[in-house]
């Protein structure tokens, strides 16, 4: 069968499964809509958390980014995996014991302030909308290539699918849909990786194939270093970013992970604190399968892409180039008129431009794998993007219905609250679609901005809210606003107001917009501690509540 036929078949079957699960698990109460009724098993929750965590940035963009950034791309691997460990060990069990549905819920109660809760809602909305923009961009790219429609229409189709099962099923529907999506995405990621590893090195384990030998007897990474150096690029295994920026980006991604509201809420869907710890462990294993494979996928992809295009005559280019040119994500131009393709570091003379976000999707075609593998990757990419988009949309709808509307109208009926949550989710889908069509960068970069915002706003007030009984509402509010405004302002300035200045010479202390969240986090900590020290301590009952959260006694029982 043709690639398009396989794609329609595999994507169609997977979508039918997702929608069927959404109907089967339709939320009938606010508790089912917000936290799936709190009755999800640790294994299922671990799988759902992994799917929620591994977004389009992980599946589509991360390996593509590493393909072109080489060593520098390792910041995403270190930051995202390290951050999940930080979240699982340091925050998740305590937040689960606290027993609130959302991060703004925690902030509002811990800091005994409606204002603090509203500031937290604003932070959650900024983070979630920035993150979901990257997911919708990924959805548009997949549909654009495999369903042969413009990216804009691809985003619209993805919006409709997410709207159906996120708005209908809430967290209950999303959780069991994400279990199915994890199975699809991990199978779709590993199958081509194993195929290509066998092709190039004869080793079926991609992680080992990355350090393996090619048929000619040269190690893959040595060969890749040489090929890129010959073309004028930096060696694949050498770093180009400053160590300061690498450290700050990694830190922002790590602590940003620990502040992501759509991941934190997953730990409220299990019955007990013990189950929260267990599901975090399962999720880490499930996440590691993809993350340890990504460097190999990146190296295989860029090696095959260069070999199949560089110095080839225009009329000898492989078919995958023409296929992807239809999406405008690859441009080929014979600038010097010699009839050959020159892949060069200088944008003025470079004749081949490949969008970073297509490397994983195009790899099976570049390696000439069977058509069904290409269709499978499309289904996996859709699963990754839609699973995270659904989780983020739920955070947005919950922030509006529970944390805003119910805060000011506590007497609202459950039925009306559920209706408002679904209307908010519908509105969020439309806005997310707009950002998907007009993204402020490629997928992984957009997602990195979301992590920076989470690091600068949520992480300090959550960590100090758990481990310090002295931090008060005044400190928390001042810290969150300082971190959010500073980080958002820095990103907007360099990405939108003065993009021509977005270079290391103009960055503060050499820190890029992707890493500025770390500086925002430090400012948040400092302001929070300073303001708290100059204002009265929290009430005695709040201090006792904080101590109770950290006491293991009775931790096996839910507190809500």
Residue 338 backbone dihedrals phi, psi, to 5 degrees: -90, 0
pLDDT value, residue 173: 64
pLDDT value, residue 558: 45
Q: Which of 276, 259, 287, 299 is nearest to 73 (CA)?
A: 299
Q: Count CA atoms closer than 13 A to 326's CA, side-chain side.
A: 13
Tokens of 173: 């529907």
pLDDT value, residue 29: 52
- Spans of all domains in the chain: 3-221+247-298+367-451
Query: Averaged in consecutive runs of 10 residues, what is the pLDDT profile of the chain (560 residues)?
Result: 82 80 62 54 84 77 85 84 79 74 81 88 80 75 74 80 64 74 90 94 92 87 89 84 89 82 72 78 88 92 87 84 82 84 84 84 90 88 75 75 76 79 80 74 65 87 90 94 92 86 88 91 95 94 84 50
| H/E element, 352 | strand 352-354
Q: Which of 124, 105, 91, 112 is nearest to 472 (CA)?
A: 112
pLDDT value, residue 555: 46
Cα–Cα distance between 90 and 475 in angstroms, integer?
Answer: 21
Count of beta carbons in the 10 Å neighbourhood of residue 552? 9
Q: What is the DSSP letter of 234?
A: P
- Residue written as tokens 């150096």? 229
Distance between alpha carbon 223 and the CA centroid of its chain, in Å? 31
Tokens of 117: 């809760």
Could you tell me the pTM of the whole model?
Answer: 0.80
Cα–Cα distance between 70 and 57 in angstroms, integer?
Answer: 16
Cα–Cα distance between 383 and 51 in angstroms, integer?
Answer: 8
Task: List C-alpha distances in Å: 125 to 68, 307, 403, 404, 484.
Answer: 31, 44, 11, 11, 12
Does the domain formed by 3-221+247-298+367-451 have CATH 1.20.1730.10?
yes
DSSP characters for 267-324? Answer: GGSSSSHHHHHHHHHHHHHHHHHHHTTHHHHHHHHHHHHHHHHTT-BGGG--HHHHHH
| H/E element, 353 | strand 352-354
Q: Are strands 330-332 and 352-354 parallel, antiparallel or unpaired?
A: antiparallel
Count of beta carbons in the 10 Å neighbourhood of residue 256? 30
| HEC assignment per residue over 395-422 | HHHHHHHHHHHHHHCCCCCHHHHHHHHH
pLDDT value, residue 445: 60
SS3 content of the chain, % helix, strand, coil (to 5): 75, 0, 25
């Amino acid at each position: 069968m043709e690639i398009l036929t396989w794609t329609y078949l595999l994507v169609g079957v997977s979508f039918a499964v997702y929608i069927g699960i959404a109907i089967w698990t339709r939320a009938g109460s606010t508790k089912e809509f917000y936290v799936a009724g709190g009755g999800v098993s640790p294994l299922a929750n671990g799988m759902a958390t992994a799917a929620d965590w591994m977004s389009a940035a992980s599946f589509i963009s991360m390996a593509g980014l590493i393909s072109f950034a080489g060593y520098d791309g390792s910041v995403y691997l270190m930051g995202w995996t390290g951050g999940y460990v930080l979240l699982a060990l340091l925050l998740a069990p305590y937040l689960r014991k606290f027993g609130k549905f959302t991060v703004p819920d925690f902030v509002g109660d811990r800091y005994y302030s409606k204002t603090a809760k509203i500031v937290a809602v604003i932070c959650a909305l900024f983070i979630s909308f920035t993150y979901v923009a990257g997911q919708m961009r990924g959805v548009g790219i997949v549909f654009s290539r495999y369903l042969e429609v413009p990216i804009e229409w691809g985003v619209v189709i993805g919006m409709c699918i997410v709207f159906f099962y996120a708005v209908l099923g809430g967290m209950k529907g999303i959780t069991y849909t994400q279990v199915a999506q994890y199975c699809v995405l991990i199978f779709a990621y590993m199958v081509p990786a194993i195929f290509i590893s066998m092709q190039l090195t004869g080793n079926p384990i991609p992680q080992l194939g990355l350090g393996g030998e090619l048929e000619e007897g040269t190690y893959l990474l040595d060969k890749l270093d040489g090929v890129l150096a010959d073309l004028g690029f930096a060696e694949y295994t050498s770093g180009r970013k400053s160590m300061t920026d690498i450290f700050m980006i990694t830190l922002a991604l790590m602590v940003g992970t620990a502040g992501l509201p759509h991941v934190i809420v997953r730990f409220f869907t299990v019955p007990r604190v013990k189950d929260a710890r267990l599901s975090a462990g399962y999720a880490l294993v499930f996440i590691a399968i993809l993350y340890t494979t990504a460097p190999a996928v990146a190296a295989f992809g860029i090696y095959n892409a260069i070999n199949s295009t560089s110095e080839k005559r225009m009329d000898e280019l492989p078919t995958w180039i023409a296929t992807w040119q239809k999406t405008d994500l690859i441009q080929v131009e014979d600038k010097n008129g010699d009839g050959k393709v020159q892949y060069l570091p200088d944008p003025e003379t470079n004749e081949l431009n490949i969008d970073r976000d297509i490397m994983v999707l195009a790899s099976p075609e570049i390696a000439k794998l069977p058509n069904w593998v290409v269709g499978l990757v499309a289904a996996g990419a859709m699963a990754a993007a839609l699973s995270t988009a659904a989780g983020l949309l739920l955070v947005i709808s919950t922030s509006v219905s529970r944390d805003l509307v119910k805060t000011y109208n506590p007497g609202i009926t459950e039925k009306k609250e559920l209706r408002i949550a679904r209307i908010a989710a519908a509105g969020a889908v439309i806005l997310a679609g707009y950002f998907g069509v007009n993204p402020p960068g490629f997928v992984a970069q957009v997602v990195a901005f979301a992590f920076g915002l989470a690091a600068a706003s949520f992480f300090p007030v959550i960590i100090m809210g758990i481990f310090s009984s002295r931090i008060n509402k005044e400190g928390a509010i001042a810290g969150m606003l300082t971190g959010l405004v500073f980080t958002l302002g820095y990103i907007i300035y360099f990405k939108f107001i003065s993009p021509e200045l977005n270079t290391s010479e103009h960055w503060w202390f050499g820190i890029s917009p992707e890493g500025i969240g770390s500086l925002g986090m430090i400012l948040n900590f400092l302001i929070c501690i300073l303001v708290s020290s100059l204002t009265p301590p929290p009430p005695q009952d709040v201090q006792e509540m904080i101590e109770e959260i950290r006491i293991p006694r009775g931790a096996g029982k839910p507190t809500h």
